[in-house]
Structure 1
């Protein structure tokens, strides 16, 4: 089955996935934001299938806002919208997208020694909840 995504569909997927990594980076401990973003980005660009082709690039021209709350206002609904879109058009790719984002947030939490900080753990929970809301 061949899937054709519109430019808006592609932007939604990119904002959702790359925004999730940005949320994790914003929630990271001082000094570790770059490591969090790097680990999460590597996970996104390692994706395969349609999702991998879409996520090879971060979204261009997107303004995430000046606060974590403004970022979350864009990204969390985009995660839910991306899952709904893929569930309708390609359920296997919906599962691929969900797993890819979960691996990215797990990788993003990895630079922390031991368990992720409570802030990172809570952000990961919010991201997972948004993915599962579709």
Structure 2
């Protein structure tokens, strides 16, 4: 019996970059929409707390996340398609990891939405809904 904990699925560097861009871009989008600093920190912790292949990819030291633009719309134009692409890619390679990725992003969203004493603003809720729609578009 083996105690090997290395993920069985292997992803290309480009695929890993897509996952990281989608995940960390989600936190950036929520921040741009107005989540408080504490919420963004909690969302980032949710990403680095992921397990499985997704956890290994998201916790790897990397400089391949390049989010550019000066507006929320510019950021959304990069992140929302990356979320859909990440889900499509993972569903092809490992449906279980696609489920894991989706759950990780949802936990990050929830952490961002519920980290402050007040209710999230309508703008933040709308952005969270757009992120979820992008996950579901795959």
Pick which of 59-68 and 39-48 moved more.
Answer: 59-68
Any gaps of 5 or more consecutive residues in structure 2?
Answer: 1-6
Between the aligned partners of 1:58 and 1:37, the Cα distance in structure 2 is 19
- Identify if the C-alpha distance between structure 1 residues 53 and 112 changes in structure 2 by more than 3 Å, giving closer, same or farther: same
Runs of 4+ in 1 over 6 A off after TM superposition: none
Q: If you compute each CA radius of gyration, which structure gives the higher value, 1 or 2?
A: 2
Partner in structure 2 of residue 50 of structure 1:
53
Q: Which residue of 2 aligns with 1:83?
A: 87
Give me the whole-angstrom Cα distance separating, in 2, the residues matched to 1:14 and 1:59: 9
The aligned counterpart of 2:3 is none
Pair 1:17-2:53 in alignment: no
Counterpart position of 2:63: 60
Deviation of 1:59 (Å): 5.4
Counterpart residue number, 2:118:
114
Residue aligning to 1:105: 109
TM-score by length of 2: 0.89
Q: Distance in 2 between matches of 1:64 and 1:132?
A: 24
Shift of residue 12, structure 1, vs aligned partner: 0.1
TM-score (norm 1): 0.91
Q: RMSD in angstroms over aligned alpha carbons?
A: 1.6
Ranges in structure 1 where 5+ consecutive residues have no aligned partner: none
Q: Is the 8 A contact 2:38 2:116 kept in 1?
A: no
